[in-house]
Amino acid sequence: MKLWITGSKGMLGKDLCAMAKKNFELFESDKEVDITDETAVSGYISENKPDFIINCAAYTAVDNAETEAELNRKLNAVGPEILGKCSAKKGTRIIHISTDYVLSGAAPKPLTEAAPIKPINAYGKAKAEGEAMLAKANPNHWIVRTAWLYGINGKNFVKSMLNLMRTKEQISVVGDQLGNPTWTCDLAAAILKIAENPKLPGIYHFTGEGIASWHEFAVEIQKQALGKNLLEHAIPILPIASSEWKSPAKRPLWSALDKTKIKENFDIHIPAWQDSLSKYLDFEK
């Protein structure tokens, strides 16, 4: 089976390409095939005839999205629509990656795929628009919403925390936002399970198993990093409220996702987020 992975140089894209190479004929591209250029996308599909497109290209700077409205919408809404239209014309299936930020709910119930679309920041709004336009353009779609992603090939919370823990005497981390930390390699494996056995198109949620606040996530990072000798000593990690952390984009206080649908339909076992963090930190060594 032939896969075309877009955003191949991004945090998820790189891990996904490395994994996909083992079992699929792989076509990979990043900015050189602009997903917002219909002619380029259509030409690439005609030339390479992929069975599946997996779209990992996106605009992911959540705070900058508040002011870079045009770029955010172009990448996160128009690009998916173009990929949807072009893939539909050629009968190509498509997996698209989306985000928990299209939703916002109230604790303590993990959000299912049926939860109402309720983005509270510009990035979430554009991603929600992208989901809708892609779904309308190509019924043969699998939209995989994920959250709190970290991977070896990109800027992420784990790397930022490790840097701060090495250079600061104490840090403050938001303690009242809850979600699901997710390792790119776990997500990549789930995406490839869909590609291997494409059935039941629609929206799916995938994150690491278990819920944490950013503060709890940071505490676990420090604990594990000390155990693996990635840090020399512990520093105090203080929980603060979201209201004390000034950032341009609002984030939902509760965005834990329910993964029952993907687990049941694709026979996927999702590791506890702490176990995946441990595997990831072994790459940081």
Q: Which residues contact ligand NAP by CB under 6 A?
A: 6-7, 9-13, 30-31, 34-36, 56-58, 60, 75, 97, 99, 127, 146-149, 154
Dig out the tokens for 117 from the structure.
């679309």
| Residue from 44, 59, 123, 204 carrying the catalytic annotation | 123
Distance CA 76, CA 39 (A): 18
Could you tell me the smallest distance in angstroms from the CB atom of residue 155 to ligand NAP? 8
- Of 130 and 175, nearer to ligand NAP (C-beta) is 130
- Of 42 and 226, nearer to ligand NAP (C-beta) is 42
Closest CA to 274 of 215, 228, 233, 221: 221
Confirm whether 123 is a catalytic residue.
yes
270: region left, alpha or beta (phi > 0 left; psi from -120 to 50 alpha): beta
- Of 149 and 203, nearer to ligand NAP (C-beta) is 149
DSSP string, 32-90: TS-TT-HHHHHHHHHHH--SEEEE------TTGGGT-HHHHHIIIIIHHHHHHHHHHHH
Could you tell me the smallest distance in angstroms from the CB atom of residue 25 to ligand NAP? 20
CA 234 to chain centre: 30
Strand partners, 55: 6, 96
Could you tell me the smallest distance in angstroms from the CB atom of residue 183 to ligand NAP? 11
49: region left, alpha or beta (phi > 0 left; psi from -120 to 50 alpha): left
Could you tell me the smallest distance in angstroms from the CB atom of residue 134 to ligand NAP? 11
Kindly list the distances between the CA atom of residue 234 and the CA atoms of 14, 24, 48, 58, 174, in Å, as whole numbers in the listed order. Answer: 32, 44, 51, 36, 18
Neighbours of 79 (CB within 10 A): 27
- Of 68 and 235, nearer to ligand NAP (C-beta) is 68
DSSP string, 236-283: -EEEE-GGGS--SS---SB--B--HHHHHHHT----BHHHHHHHHHHH
Taking CB atoms, the residue at the shortest distance from ligand NAP is 10
- Of 26 and 58, nearer to ligand NAP (C-beta) is 58
Could you tell me the smallest distance in angstroms from the CB atom of residue 154 to ligand NAP? 4
Catalytic residues: 123
